[in-house]
Every structure is written in structure tokens, then in C-alpha cells.
Structure 1
Amino acid sequence: MTSFDFVSYDAALAVTAGLVVFAALLLLKAFIARQLRQRAKTAKPSFLEYAEQITTGTRLPFFIGIALLVGFSQTELSALHAKWLNYAWIIILVSQIALWGNRIIAVAVQRSFIYQRQSDPASATHLMIAGLIGRIVLWSTAALVVLDNLGFNITTIMASLGIGGIAVALAVQNILGDIFSSVSIALDKPFVIGDFIIVDSYMGTVEYVGMKTTRLRSLGGEQIVFSNAELLKCRIRNYKRMQERRVLFEFGIAYETPMTEIERLPQTVKDIVSASYLETRFDRAHFKGYGDSALLFEVVYYVLDPDYNKYMDIQQEINLGLLAALRDRKISFAYPTRTLYVAPSPANEEISNAAEKLVA
């Protein structure tokens, strides 16, 4: 056999082995996917979902890489080439394992997030942070494993990273500030996913808490994005944690109202606010003072349910009850009025006397 024939035979063997492995991997993926679909029709335990994600997460480039490596393994390689082939095996296998782990983390976080968002919003907030930290640890470990198997001194690399980390930290201090702020949000819990908060002049429901940003869904429907570091510098009002709502309102009645009705009015307001069908706790009702055109009353009560719609329903019932009570007693609400006094003068007296004579 000539050297040319030997090379041709070697190449044909490599190509054949690569194609066989490639086809076998595709068939194996199809077989596993079909078995998982059949299992899903009867029952779908949680571990089957992870297996399904691992199967679907195994992409064509991985199969091509494995097939090429198997093909090259069938050829005569020098020591240097065999060494590089070994490195390629390490890089491809570790990378694919890391991709599988990343997919498992993503599925686990998503499944837990959907469940925890309703039952325990605080845990849902932690999951977003834990998922990202898990990915960072996973890929850092994968990188260190690859470097270690490639012959690098990990201890020296870690020491170099420690020294270079100071420069990197100075360059990305804003990003690091947001990351530490996200950890502070996760630990201190000033708000969690699902809380309705007001930040400065912005308000909305917390939708997502990430490593760099927090996102709110406003009442108008748009999404508001805050940097975590800037968010914690602001005063945050968390309405989700309100246990009861304090309500203060005023109204004014006409100055012509009889004294007896004015004295009875605070008790009337108390009876209306304290009605048994309203979820309220009466605090006080007082004749507050004298307005420009009204006798002013101030009322304070508490709504025992923090829901805003419930508060508006109760306030409407109180307003209707108060209006009906005042109309029954012929008490009118005050409205802006002005009385004009004309000072007496000789010219005015002559005009008045002339008018009286004409009438007479």
C-alpha cells in the first residue's frame, strides 16, 4: 500500500467515523425526545421537564464538534496535534455541560418564580438574584476547569485576578454599585415582586428585580426602569404593606345654618362613618373653623382594608349619606359668595330720597 493510499484510507476512515457518530447522536436525541413526549402524555414529573430541557438544549454545533473530534481521532496525529485534540475535547464537553447546567438553572428559576410569585413574593425576588449568581458560579467553575485542564496554573490566575480586580472594580464601579444594591434589596426587602410602590413622582407594581435594574409596571401600562443604586437613594412608599388607610376630608356649610344643627352635625357624621356595613373606624369630626364663605368641618376615619378601590367605595357611601342627611335637615353646602356694602354719602341719600318720592 502506497503512502497516498494510506492517506486516502485514513481520511475515508475519519470521515466515515465522523458521519456515523453524527448520525448516531441525531438519532439518539430524536429517540430520547420521543420517549419524553410519550411519558408526558401520561404523567410529567418535574425531573422529566429537566431532561426535556437538556435534550432540546443540545444543539447541532455540539454534534458537529463531537463528530469532527471523533473523525480526527481516527487519523495518525503527531504528539502536538494529539495534545490539541485533547484540549478540544475538554473545551467542547465542559462547554456543553455548562450549557446544560445553565438550562437547568433557568428552568428551575422559572418554575419556582411562577409558583412563588403568588404564594411568597419575597422568595420570588430572591430567586432572580439566586439564578444569576448560580449562572456566574457555573460559568466561572467551567472556565476554571477548562484552564486547569489546559495546563494553566489556577493559583497564579486567581492571584492575578485579585490584583487586576481592583482596576476592574474602579472601571465598573457603577455596575458594582447596582449589583450590591440588588443584594441589599434581596436581603432587606424594602419591596418585593407584586408590591405597589411610589418612587418620587413615579408609581407602579414591582415586576422584576434584577442585578442592575428594577422594573415597575405603571398604572398607565408602560414599564418604568430604575437603576438599583439610584432607586435605593430615593424615598420609597410601599402601599402593599399598608394595613389600614387613614382618610381626612373636609366640607363646609352655609353661615346661615342654625346653631342647633351645627352642634348636632359632628354626631351625625360619626353615625354615618360608623355604619355597620362600612369597614371603617371613626376617629373624629370637628367644627374646624371659619372659611371665607363657609363653616368648615374636618373628619378623620380609617378604612380597615388597604385596597384603594374599597376606600373609594366607602368614601362614596359616606358622601352620599352626608348629602342625604344635610338635605333632610335643610342644611345647605356653602358655595363662594360675596356681600357688597355701600357706604352712605350725600349723593347716595339724594338719589334714595328721589327714588322714594317717585315710588310714592
Structure 2
Amino acid sequence: MNLHTYIESFDITLTNAVVALLAAALSFVLMQGAVSITRKRLGALSDERAHRPLAEVLRKTLARTSGLAIAVTAALVGLSVLDLPEPWNGRVAHLWFFTLGIQIALYLHRAVTVGIHQYVRLNGRSGAAPTFTVAHTLMRWLLQTIVWVIFGLTLLANLGINVTTFVASLGIGGIAIALAVQTVLGDLLASLSIAADKPFEVGDFVSVGGNAGTIEHVGLKTTRIRALGGEQIVIANAEMLRQTVFNFKRMNTRRILFSLRVNPTTPVELAEQVPERLRAIVEKNEIARFDRAHLKTVDPNWLEYEVVYIMQDANYNRYMDVQQAINFDAMRLFEELGISTGPRPQPLLVRELQDQPRPATDSDAEADDGAGALRHFAH
């Protein structure tokens, strides 16, 4: 069979061929124009809207549109106009699935990359460059792999290949591997949870399980903390999530409560002046917001004042500077008012013993023996 005879077997007239070519050309122009207009509209958005996560994902995902995929889709539109005999009709249907499927997979592949980038940027520190950890890279790779595996299995099923047994074997193999590496897999999933939920980041000062320090590295299996003493603490990721983590880096304010004790013999007139004077001392500091000051305890041994203020800056060194200044001013205040901070004098009862014979002891007996020996030697 020569080529002319083979083409005639499709029973395609010249009119049908022209209509198919026009349909393909029109489809190509419409699809290419729609993609171009959509990209231009997204690019013309204001800077504020362009940085919204959804707009950014759409804009960068559409940039992955394949010109070859548009051309093949337009050709398939033209072929669909024709009444093709079997098996070509079925082959065109499979080609439709392959072309659209691979373009959708490309879109999803790009959307995963852009989406994770946007998530890291939005959940990171303001003004700082996005920091990608190993967990973020692993999460991106895992999601992209899932996209392509699903596309491959769906394509095989569309071609008539039975993939049920293959999927079942993958499930059984996955269970066996999960049981064999249960601990490692637990830490791996914990690292993904840390990357997604972000309870802490590199550079945060945290306290967990009685250990305090700065987060140095969050890996796939462990998190490394640099302690205040300089040593490095290595904790498994799963263990980190099982314990309560105190993240001091994310403190915006710091509530301070401290007490001052004075002598209980302080006159009431002077004791009444102390709370207001302490308030004035606290309010002298711009970054300290006064909350309250009260005489909390009246005890036979002391009078106790309780003072509470809010530090507008969570920095620990600045808090200590302010607390030190308040303590010095409080000492000057008590000195000015003549209030003693010493405890109540404790009476000491001394009982004078009456003159009476002292009971003899072993040392006295030894002394008498020594004196007798001296007298004997003198004689």
C-alpha cells in the first residue's frame, strides 16, 4: 500500500481537511492569546496585589505553559473535527489525555515550587530573606514526585494497562519499609511538621526539656541547639515535638514582677507613700509600662511591696538594665524616707548562771594529777 492509498483510506475530503486546518489554527490563536492576556493582566496588577500568594502562584505557573503543548492541542482540535476511523479515533483520544495531562503536571510541578517559596516568605521574619531548610526541599521534592507518579499511573491506566497490582505492591512495600525504619521515619515526618508549622526557626532562643539555647540547625533527623555555656545540644525532631517548647525570640513584651521588703517598724505614714513613689520610679523608664504597686504582705518580720511592670522590649539585657536602675532608685527612696530595709531586730535572751560548784570533768582530774606530780617532784 502506497502513501496515496493509505491517505485515501481515511476518507477525508478537501473540505473536511480545510475545516480541520482552520479549526486548529483558530484554536492555537485563541489559546495562545488567552494565555498571553492572562499573564499580562497578572503582570499589570499593582505591586501590593502582585505579591499576594494566589496571584504570584498563578502568574509564575502560567509562565510554565508549553508552546509545544498548545500547538499539539490545537492540532488535536483539528483532528477531532474529522471523522477518523478506528484505531485512529482511539489513538487521538489517548494523545488528548497525554497532552493535557503532561501540561497539568507541569503546572502542578511549578505551583508546588512557587507555593512553598511563598509559604516560606510569608511565614519568615519580616524584612529577612527567605530561609529554605532541608525539610522544605524534601517537602517540595516529595510533592513533585507524587504529582508525576500519579500522572504516570493515570497514563498507564488510560492506555489500558492494569496498574492495580502494581499499586498494591507499592503499598505492601511501603508498609514494610515504614516498619523497618520507624524511628528514622518518625524524625523525618517531625522535620516536615517543623518546616510547615514553624514552632521555631534557626536563630530563635528556646527552652525545651530543661535545656536552653539558640537554634543552630534543623535537619531531617535532629535539631541542634547552641547552649548558653557554649556546648551543642542535639535533640531528635520527634522528641522536640513531644515536649513543650518555650520560644523567647517571639516575645513582644516581658511582664516583670518583683518584691521589696522593708522593716516592719516603718510608720504607716511613710509606708503609704512608697507605692506612689515606686510608680514614679518605674515610669521614669520609657520602655517600661507601669502596671501596679501594692503593699502585699504585713508580717512580723517585714513589710513586702509587690511591683509589676511591662517591658515594651523583650530583650533580656535591656530588661536587666531597667531593673537595675529601678533597684538603685528604690534604695535612694528608702534612704530619703528613712526607711530601713533590714529585718526586725531579734531579741537575744542571755541568762546569767548563779555561782555554784562546777561538776568535775576528766580534764580537771588530769590537771589535778599533773599538779600532784609537780608537788611530788618539788619535794
Q: TM-score range with shorter-chain normalisation?
A: 0.5 to 0.7
CA distance in 1, matches of 2:142, 2:295: 64
Structure 2 alignment gaps of length 5 or more: 1-116, 149-160, 355-379
Following superposition of structure 1 onto structure 2, how do residues 153-232 of structure 1 map, counting pairs within 5 Å?
Answer: 160-232=169-241
**Is the 1:253–1:294 contact (alpha carbons within 8 Å) kept by the matching residues of 2?**
yes
2:329 aligned with 1:321, yes or no? yes
The CA deviation at 1:300 is 0.6
2:278 aligned with 1:263, yes or no? no
Q: Of 320, 329, 334, which residue of structure 1 is paired with 2:342?
A: 334
The CA deviation at 1:214 is 1.1
1:299 corresponding residue in structure 2 = 307
The CA deviation at 1:157 is 7.0
Q: Which amino acid aligns with 1:330?
A: G
**Is the 2:217–2:225 contact (alpha carbons within 8 Å) kept by the matching residues of 1?**
yes
**Residues 122-141 of structure 1, C-alpha deviation per residue, up to 9 Å, x if partnerless?**
x42x4321234567799999
Distance 1:117 1:261, change over 3 A: closer
**Is the 1:195–1:205 contact (alpha carbons within 8 Å) kept by the matching residues of 2?**
yes
**Residues 284-323 of structure 1, C-alpha deviation per residue, up to 9 Å, x if partnerless?**
1111112352111111111110000000000001001111
CA distance in 1, matches of 2:234, 2:126: 22
1:29 corresponding residue in structure 2 = none
The CA deviation at 1:256 is 2.0
Q: Of 279, 287, 293, which residue of structure 2 is paired with 1:279?
A: 287
2:135 aligned with 1:129, yes or no? yes
Give the TM-score taking structure 2 as reference length. Answer: 0.52
Larger helix proportion, structure 1 or 2?
1
1:35 corresponding residue in structure 2 = none
**Is the 1:278–1:314 contact (alpha carbons within 8 Å) kept by the matching residues of 2?**
no
Structure 1 alignment gaps of length 5 or more: 1-108, 142-152, 348-360
2:248 aligned with 1:242, yes or no? no
SS in 2 for 1:190: coil
Q: Which amino acid aligns with 2:254?
A: R
**Is the 2:136–2:192 contact (alpha carbons within 8 Å) kept by the matching residues of 1?**
no
Give the TM-score taking structure 1 as reference length. Answer: 0.54
SS in 1 for 2:133: helix
The CA deviation at 1:180 is 1.3
CA distance in 2, matches of 1:186, 1:138: 17
The CA deviation at 1:278 is 3.4
- How many pairs are equivalent? 224
1:309 corresponding residue in structure 2 = 317
- CA RMSD of superposed structures (Å): 3.4
Following superposition of structure 1 onto structure 2, how do residues 109-124 of structure 1 map, counting pairs within 5 Å?
Answer: 119-120=127-128, 123-124=130-131
The CA deviation at 1:228 is 0.9
**Is the 1:246–1:303 contact (alpha carbons within 8 Å) kept by the matching residues of 2?**
yes
CA distance in 2, matches of 1:282, 1:162: 62
Following superposition of structure 1 onto structure 2, how do residues 342-353 of structure 1 map, counting pairs within 5 Å?
Answer: none
**Is the 2:136–2:195 contact (alpha carbons within 8 Å) kept by the matching residues of 1?**
no
The CA deviation at 1:201 is 0.7
The CA deviation at 1:117 is 8.4
CA distance in 2, matches of 1:118, 1:210: 23
CA distance in 1, matches of 2:125, 2:292: 40
**Is the 2:265–2:344 contact (alpha carbons within 8 Å) kept by the matching residues of 1?**
no
